[in-house]
Chains A and B, each alone.
Chain A
Amino acid sequence: MKRIGIDVGGTNTDVVLVADGKVAHGVKAPTTSDVTSGIVSAIETLAAEVDLGQGVDAVMVGTTHFINAVVQRRSLNKVAAIRIALPATGGLPPFTGWPADLAELANGGVWQIEGGHDYDGRRFMPLDVEAARRIAREIRDRGLKCAAVTAMFSPLDASDEEAIADILRDACPGISVTCSHRIGGIGLLERENAAILNASLIELAGETIEAFDRAKSRIGVTAPLFVTQNDGTVAEAARAVAYPIYSFASGPTNSMRGAAYLSGLEEAIVVDVGGTTSDFGHLRLGFPREANAAVHVGGVRTLFRMPDLISIGLGGGSLVDTTANRIGPVSVGYRLTKEALVFGGSTLTATDVAVAAGLLDLGDRSRVAHLPAVTVRTVLARATEMVEEQVDRMKVDAGDVTLIAVGGGAFLVPDALRGVARVVRVEHGGCANAVGAAIAQVSGEVDQVFQGKTRAEAIAAARELADQRAAEAGARRDSLVMVEAEDTPIAYLPGNAMRVRVRVVGDIQAR
């Protein structure tokens, strides 16, 4: 089994070759503004340094391209936003609470119709199919290519969203429709916001993934392309193009998955110390714990499957202020090799302090010899405190945890920390993100209401559906493991109703 894992970060593009469960080789190249030429050059370097042969089974790419498009307000499509919840919610129409500049780019029109469900699964209002047909014609006449459909309580009953999506596809050939129930849970505004963002990125996702595919072909690799997702698994490229929002947090997620793989640990806190920031996450059964609160993306409040992460401004390139004993949040970033003291620059960075302390050997150590030992100690103690506090915030209870430290700036994490039983460091930790992409599995998820079943029967039924979805997404059935199972009884509904959420993961089916 040979796989190429690629992580396209803001500064660097990391590429690794994982063969027979081992990291065979890794290379780093600067990320380019068009993203793909950086990938091509990184893969070409990899191909020049190791023999890829014919045996590559899969290429997995993780990218921050889509979330950056939202943050930087570029390459976004206008979206027809359709909400099915009248006569409720009309006072807060789609795009409420959006930053004006982003709404300007993404708002292709807003339509609200009657329909939707209540919390107990009862119908809220009959679906206004006539209005939907009229809207579909308007959308066709306006030439809109993307739509987002959101119905009240669609995570509990998705039928209205599905029905409207069908009407739109019939009336508007070539339109891509994002249904909110495929994106997020309870919380209509936040789920709708996420669905609209997803819809606005559909065209960019198509172009980008096609470009990844071309980059892969250019170096003669015919293996299928997968795109990494927020939950640490991958989706086949053909499926991933419909859900760009699912790869928003793939960078930190891939680091965490890589850390789990390289360390062999399934329960731990992970810190990925980069050049500018440190990302903290919590591994559970080898996967990042999910966030259960709203996440702001580009100024928009959203709620969808995202890992629970804390990011602070502490990295190898962080500026150090010795008077105030402050590190970061400003960093020299990719200019580290020009501006840091040890590289002949004039800016005191966290890397310089670490070199002075003998934690790493980089650049010209004599250029930091003037730093008083007490200053070096105080600064490193401050870094330790910052890490300790975030590790504690990431915990779910008071016990000591295992901490896996990865990333290029991991030297800032000492071996002994309060609240940490042990610090684990791994080989290839500097490219844990690309490793995480390379070893990613496929998942299947179900979140729906079951009635007239015992708890065990309901979970079993959900499990069967999730298995089926994972197999459709490219998983090998006999490798599927249930990693999440959650059931919530729903009061006021006859027949022992409960909402069951199950997620399974498994290995990619070899071709």
Chain B
Amino acid sequence: MRQLSLDDIEALAVGAWILGTGGGGSPYHALLNLRRLYAEGTRVDLIDVDEIADDDAIAVVSVMGAPLVILERLVDSRLIARAVTAMEEHLGRKFRAVMAIEIGGGNGMQPLLAAAHLGIPVVDADAMGRAYPEAQMTSFAVGNLSPSPLTSIDPRGNEVVVSKTSTWKWMERVSRKVCTEFGSIAATCKAPRTGAEVRRWGIARTTSKAISLGLSVREANRRHEDPIEAILKAESGKRLFTGKVVEVERRTTEGFLRGRTVFDGLGPDRDTKVVIDFQNEWTVLWRGGEPVASTPELICVLDSETGEAIGTETIRYGQRVTVIVLPAAEVFLTPRGLEHVGPRAFGYDIDFRPVFRT
């Protein structure tokens, strides 16, 4: 167990945004909450998966909702804490610790907000190792763990417990409906996990991974060194492409932001062109009509100068970017894992071809 410093948390905001692979929502509001809580003297502890007991109860949290709505409703640390205590009331037992459903984007920081109020530690793990848009796109779903119960909280005192759903897809449908009624935003505590389940099916050490990514970027920027080199070194990633954005197409369908971005190469990649498709997050990278990288491996589009991630919502013509790929969590590389989050799960008729040989 170690206490997180404010520096760790500032770094987590940068790293979680990178692991968001273009989506996941901005960690900015969560960071503002944590700066305030730290200024008031609150501290958050991080524990390793090896420090939890098999029968410990672990809360799994996230904020569901539309990015536009979050811009007005903001993020309130007390709300995510309430989602956890509502679940405790439903279960009739206390949680030992809290963890993220997805490390990518703002949700990577939500367990810290809950932990700050509840006085319990954050488990260094999540269920995606990145960001994905739907409930069934998690390692817990791949492990066929129970999708329920779930608590969904609105700040006006409206609280829903979804006590049972037969599948992860049903949980996605029902909880999404509740979220829409609340104004398209809800703080949720997902199906609770035992310590044993987290160790078997959770993706371990992703919070510390995001922190170390963020520290590398911040340190490189401070020293005026190449932040992207620092990321690749810290995370054994691969640089795929350096270039600039020449075209962006976006459309909103079925509640998702879909589209594609075209990049022209610069420097060593001059005269080549790549296309990256997105569905909230970056999904498939194409070169000459051939898929070169795809989900579940992490396609990260970074600002070539600062190393900061660029989101699919805000990417625009002329930005100078470096595209890197980071390895996927192993649980997603199995046939069953690929069923949940491989290219076919996003509607592509292609097989997953790994950038990293396993």
Q: CA of A445 to CA of B68 in the docked complex: distance in angstroms?
A: 22
Which residues of chain A come closer than 8 Å to B319, judged between CB atoms?
393
A91 and B156 form a contact (CB under 8 A): no
Which residues of chain A come closer than 8 Å to B119, judged between CB atoms?
none
Q: CA of A187 to CA of B244 in the docked complex: distance in angstroms?
A: 28
Q: How large is the interface on B (under 10, 10 to 19, 20 to 34, 35 or more residues)?
A: 20 to 34
B78 and A394 form a contact (CB under 8 A): no
Q: CA of A91 to CA of B155 in the docked complex: distance in angstroms?
A: 11
Interface hits, A151-175 → B, CB 8 Å: 152-153
Give a binary string over A78-111; 1 marks a CB under 8 Å from any B CB, 0 the rest.
0000000101111110001100000000000000
Q: How large is the interface on A (under 10, 10 to 19, 20 to 34, 35 or more residues)?
A: 20 to 34
* A395: interface (CB < 8 Å): yes
Give a binary string over B32-51; 1 marks a CB under 8 Å from any A CB, 0 the rest.
11011000000000000000
* B256: interface (CB < 8 Å): no
B74 and A89 form a contact (CB under 8 A): yes
Known: A97-B32, A394-B318. A92 touches B73 (CB 8 A): no
Q: CA of A118 to CA of B184 in the docked complex: distance in angstroms?
A: 9
B75 and A91 form a contact (CB under 8 A): yes
Give a binary string over B16-35; 1 marks a CB under 8 Å from any A CB, 0 the rest.
00000000000001001101
* B53: interface (CB < 8 Å): no
Q: CA of A165 to CA of B264 in the docked complex: distance in angstroms?
A: 51
Closest beta carbon of chain A to B254's beta carbon, Å: 11
What is the interface of chain B mostly: helix, strand, loop, or mixed?
mixed
Closest beta carbon of chain B to A135's beta carbon, Å: 21
Q: CA of A92 to CA of B74 in the docked complex: distance in angstroms?
A: 8
Selected from B32, B72, B156, B247, the residue in CB contact (under 8 A) with A398 is B247
B77 and A119 form a contact (CB under 8 A): no
Which residues of chain A come closer than 8 Å to B36, judged between CB atoms?
91-92, 96
A88 and B247 form a contact (CB under 8 A): no
* A397: interface (CB < 8 Å): yes
Q: CA of A186 to CA of B71 in the docked complex: distance in angstroms?
A: 7
Which residues of chain A come closer than 8 Å to B183, judged between CB atoms?
118-120, 122, 124
Q: CA of A87 to CA of B247 in the docked complex: distance in angstroms?
A: 42
Closest beta carbon of chain A to B29's beta carbon, Å: 7
B155 and A87 form a contact (CB under 8 A): yes
A89 and B156 form a contact (CB under 8 A): no
Q: CA of A210 to CA of B146 in the docked complex: distance in angstroms?
A: 70
A392 and B318 form a contact (CB under 8 A): yes
Closest beta carbon of chain B to A271's beta carbon, Å: 15
Q: CA of A398 to CA of B72 in the docked complex: distance in angstroms?
A: 35
Q: CA of A352 to CA of B265 in the docked complex: distance in angstroms?
A: 36
Q: CA of A119 to CA of B71 in the docked complex: distance in angstroms?
A: 10
Give a binary string over B65-106; 1 marks a CB under 8 Å from any A CB, 0 the rest.
010110111111110000000000000000000000000000
**Chain B residue nearest to A89 in the complex (CB):** B74
* A188: interface (CB < 8 Å): yes
Interface hits, A485-501 → B, CB 8 Å: 492
B71 and A88 form a contact (CB under 8 A): no
Which residues of chain A come closer than 8 Å to B355, judged between CB atoms?
none
B318 and A188 form a contact (CB under 8 A): no
Q: CA of A313 to CA of B288 in the docked complex: distance in angstroms?
A: 39
* B356: interface (CB < 8 Å): no
Closest beta carbon of chain B to A51's beta carbon, Å: 48
Interface hits, B180-199 → A, CB 8 Å: 180, 183-184
B32 and A89 form a contact (CB under 8 A): no
B32 and A87 form a contact (CB under 8 A): no
Closest beta carbon of chain A to B277's beta carbon, Å: 20
Which residues of chain B come closer than 8 Å to A449, judged between CB atoms?
none
* A381: interface (CB < 8 Å): no
* A510: interface (CB < 8 Å): no
Selected from A120, A189, A393, the residue in CB contact (under 8 A) with B74 is A189
B interface, CB within 8 angstroms of A: 29, 32-33, 35-36, 66, 68-69, 71-78, 155-157, 180, 183-184, 244, 246-247, 264, 314, 317-319
Q: Which 7 A-B pairs have the closest CB atoms?
A: A91-B76, A393-B318, A88-B155, A118-B183, A89-B74, A87-B155, A187-B71
6 cross-chain CB contacts under 8 A: A119-B69, A124-B156, A125-B156, A188-B74, A398-B246, A492-B184
